[in-house]
Amino acid sequence: MVSGPGPASPHPLPGAVGLSHLDAYDWEAADGVCGGSPHLHLVCTEAYVVTAGRGAVQTLSPDGYRDIPLRPGSVAWFTPGTVHRMVRDGARGKDGDRTGGGDHALRITVLMQNSGLPEAGDAVLTFPPDVLADPDRYAAAAALPPGTGPDAKAAARRRRDLAVEGFLALREASVAGDPGPYRDFQRAAARLVRDRVPVWRQLWRSGALAAAERTGAQLDALADGDPAYLAGATAYAAEPTRRGGFGMCGRRDEYTPVGVTVPYGDG
C-alpha cells in the first residue's frame, strides 16, 4: 500500500478550471452592505459553490440588475461581461478578518473557467470612468502591497470601496432603465486588457484547449481499440499553498498545482 499525496500534478483539474476558496469581506461599503469588490471577467465564466453562510451575488448584465440569494448548497455562475459583487447577510462585522463571523460568515468555493486568465488581468474592477480611462491610474488603484498585513488589508479595502463607488453608479443607471453606463464600462474594460490578449491566448492553449485536445486524442485511441494511454493513470491531491490572501471578493485560499488557479501574488 502506498500512502501520501501522490506525485506532483502535471495535469489540470477537470476541464482545466481554476479553484480557490473565499470568505466574503465583512467590511461595510457606502451603501451599508458588507462584501467584496464588484468586477467582471472578459473571457471567463465564474461559478460560486456556497459551503457556509448566507448572502447574495449582485449582478449587472443585459438582463439588468439582479440579486441572487446564496445559501449552503447554492451554485451561481455568471458569464463573461457580467458585473458581480458578492455580499454577506447579517449585521456588520468589525474588520473582515477570518476569525469570528458566526452565522453571518459567507464562504464559497470558486470554480473559474480558463484557469490562469483571471490572474493575468481578465478581471476588471468597476472603478469610476475617470480611473478606467487611464491605464496607469487603474493599475495603481488595483494593486496591493505585498503580504497579508495591515497595509495590504487597508489597500484591499480602499480598492473595494472605489469599485463599489463605480458599481453603485452603474446599478442606479441600470435600475432606471439606462444600460449606457454599463455598456461603456464593458468597452472600457476591453480597452484596458487588449494588449494582454497574446499572453492570454498562450495560457488558454496550454490549459483549457490542451485539456480538450487531450480528450479528443483519448477518444481517437479508444475508437482504434488502443487503451494504452490508461497505463499512465494515477491520482493527485493538493492543499492550499497560501491562505487568507486578499482577493477581489474576500479572503482567499489558493492552490498552485499545474492547471488550477494560480496565486494573484501580491498585486
Residues 159-194 have pLDDT tens digits of 999 999 999 999 999 999 999 999 999 999 999 999
pLDDT average, residue stretch 22-47: 95
> Which amino acid makes up residue 253?
D
- Of 130 and 243, the structure prediction assigns the larger pLDDT to 130
Q: In what helix (H) or strand (E) does residue 109 lie, and over which residues does it extend?
A: strand 107-112
pLDDT value for 101? 45
In this prediction, residue 147 has a pLDDT band, given cuts at 50, 70 and 90, of: confident
pLDDT value for 128? 98
Percentage of the chain with pLDDT > 70? 87
Alpha-carbon span 245 to 16, nearest angstrom: 22
CB atoms within 10 A of CB 4: 6
pLDDT value for 90? 65
Alpha-carbon span 244 to 252, nearest angstrom: 5
β-bridge mates for residue 46, sequence order: 78, 112
Alpha-carbon span 70 to 86, nearest angstrom: 9
CATH topology of domain 17-223+237-254: Jelly Rolls (2.60.120)
* CB of 85 closer than 8 Å to CB of 37: yes
C-alpha cell at 117: 486568465
Q: In this predicted model, what pLDDT tens digit does every residue of 244-267 receive, in sequence order?
A: 899 999 999 887 754 444 444 433
Alpha-carbon span 170 to 129, nearest angstrom: 10
Alpha-carbon span 204 to 246, nearest angstrom: 25
SS3 255: coil
pLDDT value for 260? 45
Alpha-carbon span 236 to 243, nearest angstrom: 20
Q: Is 203 exposed, middle or buried (0-12, 13-18, 19+ CB in 10 A)?
A: buried
pLDDT value for 243? 87
Half-sphere exposure (Cβ direction) of 85: Cα atoms closer than 13 Å: 30
pLDDT average, residue stretch 216-226: 97
Q: In this predicted model, what pLDDT tens digit does every residue of 63-120 receive, in sequence order?
A: 999 999 999 999 999 999 999 999 999 644 444 443 344 456 899 999 999 887 887 8
Query: Cα 102 from chain centroid?
Result: 24
- Of 213 and 237, the structure prediction assigns the larger pLDDT to 213
CB atoms within 10 A of CB 51: 14
Quote the pTM value: 0.87
C-alpha cell at 257: 498545482
SS3 139: helix
